[in-house]
């Protein structure tokens, strides 16, 4: 009877692939994917450390557990950002929220109420049509309009910071209609999460 010796890198790679394959479903959250990737990477590193210490299997298990925990933590932060970071688009010369924007902001308000430690920055922008003063004013109105909508939907206004940047920081070419549409926006980003 032959004894098979599985080399450390092969064992670690198989373990990592098994963990990753189990979580590669397209419906997996970033937390789940992070945990799987972290477990695989941790198992690999743990196996190498375990080999040096004389116990590859134990090193793999400990490394997988530590890596999985770290990956889940990082993934949960990515899930949090995905819930809150949003872009709201506007018609030319308008600070009115579209029906789609209102629906999106209602969902954001629910997430805000469920995560009371999260604070948001709401930054308004415009395309380059119009004067500098007009665009700055309009960008402020857009940001404040989003904030007012969220406050009306039950979010504490102290958790929402607004800023208007006018036609600065363009993300698309203002020479085209499509580019101008992308530049007429409010960007919502997370300022801080749970401590």
CATH number at residue 109: 3.30.1330.60
Per-residue model confidence (pLDDT) at position 195: 45
Q: How many domains does the chain have?
A: 2
> What is the SS3 assignment for 38?
helix
* pTM for the model: 0.63
Stretches where the chain sits below pLDDT 70 are 1-51, 53, 64-65, 68, 70-85, 192-195
Per-residue model confidence (pLDDT) at position 5: 52
Per-residue model confidence (pLDDT) at position 34: 58
Per-residue model confidence (pLDDT) at position 105: 93
Sort strands 160-164 and 185-192 into parallel, antiparallel or unpaired.
unpaired
Q: Are residues 141 and 61 in the same domain?
A: no
Domain of 142 in residue numbering reads as 85-192
Distance CA 62, CA 69 (A): 11
Q: Are residues 100 and 188 in the same domain?
A: yes
- Residue 2 in any domain: the answer is no
The dihedrals phi and psi of 28, each to the nearest 5 degrees, come to: -70, 140
Per-residue model confidence (pLDDT) at position 43: 64
Per-residue model confidence (pLDDT) at position 93: 92
Q: Which residues contact 73 (CB under 8 A, 6 or more apart)?
A: 34
């Amino acid at each position: 009877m032959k004894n098979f010796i599985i080399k450390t890198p092969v064992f670690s790679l198989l373990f990592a692939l098994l963990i990753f394959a189990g979580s590669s479903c397209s419906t997996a959250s970033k937390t789940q994917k992070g945990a799987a990737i972290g477990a695989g990477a941790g198992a690999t590193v743990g196996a190498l450390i375990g080999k040096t210490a004389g116990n590859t299997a134990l090193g793999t298990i400990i490394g997988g557990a530590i890596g999985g925990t770290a990956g889940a933590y990082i993934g949960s932060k990515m899930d949090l950002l995905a819930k809150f970071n949003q872009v709201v688009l506007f018609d030319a010369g308008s600070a009115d929220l579209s029906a789609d924007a209102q629906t999106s902001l209602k969902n954001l308000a629910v997430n805000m109420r469920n995560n009371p430690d999260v604070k948001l920055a709401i930054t308004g922008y415009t395309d380059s049509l119009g004067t500098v003063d007009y665009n700055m004013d309009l960008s402020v109105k857009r940001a404040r309009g989003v904030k007012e909508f969220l406050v009306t939907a039950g979010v504490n206004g102290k958790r929402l910071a607004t800023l208007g940047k006018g036609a600065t920081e363009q993300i698309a070419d203002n020479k085209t209609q499509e580019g101008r549409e992308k530049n007429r926006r409010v960007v919502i980003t997370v300022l801080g999460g749970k401590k």
